[in-house]
Amino acid sequence: MEWTDLAPEGPVKRRRAIVEDGAETLAFVRESPTPGYLLVIPKRHVPTIFDLTEEEAASLMRHVVRVARAVRSAFDPDGLNVFQNNGVVGFQTVPHVHVHILPRYAGDGWVPPPGAEEVSVSFESMERTAASVRSYLAR
């Protein structure tokens, strides 16, 4: 299938190996040497996760879980990363929401995702963070 990616330099036509074409979402193979590395995207152009409607977010995650289960069955990875990036500082390189499904294999050479390292943070600090987020969830 021919697909137009919204790359930083503008629209780019690329051929994509489609895994599943849903009503609102699309899953396709990412160009990678890791077998089973897929992306799931909403069909409507949405720059970041903050721009998704509640319905689009739910549809996207249902598709992500469905495809992740299929990847696990098809490739039997040792582990699996599911991640999504927003903004330049958050390592977003394509201005369209996409969720990565990355099978992991022992010795595959991928670095641990951010936050995987052990750190020491006080409970009080974690409570302040939780309270800050809770105040916005209550709105």
Residue 65 to residue 67: CA distance in whole angstroms:
6
Cα 61 to Cα 96: distance, rounded to the nearest angstrom: 15
The one catalytic residue among 45, 63, 98, 100: 98
pLDDT value, residue 92:
83
Average pLDDT over residues 110-126: 72
Domain count of the chain?
1
- pLDDT band of residue 9 (cuts 50, 70, 90) is low
* 25 contacts 88 by C-beta, under 8 angstroms: no
Q: What is the CATH classification number for the domain harbouring 72?
A: 3.30.428.10
Domain range for 34 is 2-137
Alpha-carbon gap, residue 75 to 103, rounded angstroms: 8
Mean pLDDT taken over the chain: 84
Tens digits of per-residue pLDDT, 35-84?
Answer: 899 999 999 999 999 999 999 999 999 999 999 999 999 999 999 999 99
Confidence bin at 117 (pLDDT 50/70/90): low
Q: How far is CA 113 from CA 30, 33, 56, 84, 110, in A?
A: 18, 18, 25, 11, 9
List the one residue out of 60, 48, 40 whose CA is nearest residue 95. 48
Which alpha helices (H) appear in 1-139, and where do they start and end? 54-75, 123-137
Q: Which residue has the higher pLDDT, 131 or 52?
A: 52
98 a catalytic residue: yes
